[in-house]
Amino acid sequence: MQRLADVNLPLKPSDFKTELFKVLSHPVRIQILDTLRCGENSVNAIAEWLEVEASSISRQLAILRRYDLVISRREGTHVFYSVRDRDLFKVLDAALEVFNHHLVEIRNSLDQLE
């Protein structure tokens, strides 16, 4: 299994961050990670929650797993996924905060136009 740190990355933090943001650049991957905030879940449960085909969820989970952002465990015929490092949610939350600040600035600009 490849890990984000093992994917031909120089040891520079800026390069690691670049690769992390590339992996996080797909909206379904972000949505998958958000569904895993409360704990592990199966492909079918994630697909149902997001209203996305299970095959698409599986493809995106494979990418997240390849970069060691999620881990899996098998129970019978079901595979359950969870986030390897919960600090990843700090990154996602920070991005949401930047988005919210951006919206406030746009709203203020629109208010000034009126």
pLDDT tens per residue across span 44-74: 999 999 999 999 999 999 999 999 999 999 9
Identity (one letter) of the amino acid at 48?
Answer: E
CATH class held by domain 4-84: mainly alpha
Mean pLDDT across 27-39: 96
Asked whether 6 and 19 are in contact (CB, 8 A), the reply is no
pLDDT at 107: 75
Tokens at 25, concatenated = 């650049």
* pLDDT tier, 1 (very low <50, low <70, confident <90, very high otherwise): very low
Report pLDDT digits (tens) over 9-29: 456 888 888 889 999 999 999
The residue to which tokens 């493809």 are assigned: 59
The alpha carbon of residue 17 and the mean position of all alpha carbons in its chain are separated, in whole angstroms, by 14
Report pLDDT digits (tens) over 77-88: 999 999 999 999
SS3 21: helix
Q: How is residue 6 annotated by DSSP?
A: G
> Does residue 111 or residue 83 have the better pLDDT?
83
Asked whether 8 and 39 are in contact (CB, 8 A), the reply is no
